[in-house]
Structure 1
Amino acid sequence: MIKLRGIAWDHVRGFAPLVATSKEFQQRNSELSIIWDKHSLKDFEDFPVEILAETYDLILLDHPSIGENVKKGVIVPLDEWISSSVLEEQAQNSVGPSYQSYHWEGHQWAFAIDAAAQVSAYRSDLLNRMDLSVPTTWDEVLNLVSKLPKTIKMAIPLNSTHAFCSFLTIYSNFNNSNSVDSIETQLAMEVLDLLQFLSNQTHAELRYSNPIQVLDRMSSTNDIAYVPIIFGYCNYSQANFRTFPIHFADIPSKQQTPIGGVLGGVGLAISAHSKHIEAACQYAEFVSNVQSQQGTYFTSGGQPGHLQAWSNTRINELSNHFFARTIHTMEGASMRPRAAGSIHLQEQAGQSIHRFLSGQQTCLDTAQSICQLFDAILTK
């Protein structure tokens, strides 16, 4: 009996579809079993993969860690184990740059089994009650916020990781680019000023939260009507997932298109320490194929990473058209830095933004610190 172990993250979207598809895979491969553990969203974002790779065969990871993982040799190049036809099918059905985000130094290091980007979220019932429309521009965001009553707020997740992601989304959008290799101080200050305004308008209990905390509050009470930037979770748009369904839309934009929303999602990588790389690759092929992605992966609570699932009519109907309403943001999404050291960059830049938002650091000092972090990592 071949036994594989995997590490996922602690949300129905990040754990349940892996368990469900593993069960199906095991029914077809009786000589194999897969056991999944889970850790927090924060650990998914920045816990060292080299430590996980010592214990787990299958690892869910975030694309900014790719350069570090490759440098340390802790994950395997899938293109050396999986056929070119499978790789080509995955590339052709990438949602935006999801597949490419796990490509580094000429090799494919993970499959994009889950696709996401920062988008916007809203309670359609609350906005309709107030006769307010979903903003498509940043000026419209400011106008909507000015019209919200005292009892209903906007929100934006601004814990350190997501403060950095939101900064990068707005910076990319203002710069009309989905690729950021360096930071210009003056534009960074403009973005930080907007983040400060959004932070001040955010519900006090959610100011330094993560996306799950914001969406849980938004879907269970009537005091959050709108979130301009947040990673999309299709679960919350589905009937009966929480008390109130949440609708999602493209990010507000300073441009004609919703360009620059920071890419999220989940990559499935395989440990270089695994004793069963071939079996792990077989599962990776199974969970990422269109049948799984449109079937069990979605119905068990997952957010697919396959383009045909995103365009599937039934899946869109079941999720209040989450996928159709955010696909343009996905197509124009921006990757975070991926070179070795990028997780450190993300953490340090996020903490610097935190100090600014809490009044401990000036706007200029914050912009310059982010600029220096980018230069230190990306110009090595």
Structure 2
Amino acid sequence: MGRAEAGIYAIAWSHGAMHAYLVLLPALAPLIKAEVGGYALLGALISLVFLFYGWGSLPVGLMADRSRKKLMIALSMLLCGVSSILIGLAHSLPLLGASLILLGLGASLYHPPGYAAMALYTSEMRGRYMGIQGLGGLIGMALSYITATSLGAVIGWRATFLLWGLIGVATGLLDLLIIVEPESKTQGERHREWISLSIGLRRLIVVFAIIILSGALWSGVSSFLLACVNEVKGVQLLLAGGLSTISYTVGSLAQFIGGELSDKKGRRIVILTGFAAYSILLFALTKAPRSLPIILLLLILLGFSFYVTQSPINALLGDISPRRTIGATYGFNFAVKYGIGSFTPALAGYLTARYSMDYAFYLFSLLSLAAFLLSLLIREER
């Protein structure tokens, strides 16, 4: 394996580590809720992380076009690691809140330079590279769920955060050694990119509306899925963590498959199919009996149907963005995706406290239906 290829996998693993931190809090929610005062406040704390994580991507995107991308990726890992350690040590609500804000800021440093670097490495196989990127992200989430629930039940949620903090620091140091900075482009390529942008602007409103809904779905479902399986469906916590891990493992494969299919069949059809299935499956989860095989099947299908859409969406953004400003494009992408989408955990927490957790999943199903309807408007130049 050459250094450039090793750098690609380092970027993908860093993506996984970053997402691992974002799901640690939801994964450990059944253990943390009593200490912070219930799901309403816990949902607000989770939204706080996503708020800074999402909107922090906007200035980071501008920085990514002017700074070394590998340094920003490494700094993201270091800040995530340090903040995770602080969360594990926090014994007051203000300190916990401040540590979660730092975690959100650290996570916000990853996406614009990480996705810009991947998009700059290739144009012919952009869907595949986005699939590798997504594969890393979902593997990290899967590892986070299984380690959080297994370790959390044995050593407690604080020690689990401390352990993941050390992983983040180590990952940041390795990134500095392994990642290769992508090359700049020629003037001729820049001219062609501006022509591409003039075409892509016609699709931006639709694409970014879909992105906002996708972010709302990700932050909401990832925050409440394990709690739903554990508390509503009656699955023991450790087993619920294992089932969630299976869902995200399937999702990691779906990221790669979605990227490959979008290179060959087009972005639109993959996105449409995924969101349609996801809406139906989210609603079906609320009606499913307390049957372990049925819950397992639903989680597998949920993981595949949502994450098969993600690589095509990210590749579509690369298709319509000039490469010299691609960091800003991805920065705006993740700002609106997770910044505006950050409201979902708080709203889902309110619906759960006021009515039941089923109502949170009704909301998620409607959001996916809206994403499907908007995807009908996508027009591709292939």
Taking structure 2 as the reference length, what is the TM-score of the superposition? 0.26
Taking structure 1 as the reference length, what is the TM-score of the superposition? 0.26
Structure (1 or 2) with the greater strand fraction: 1
Structure (1 or 2) with the greater helix fraction: 2
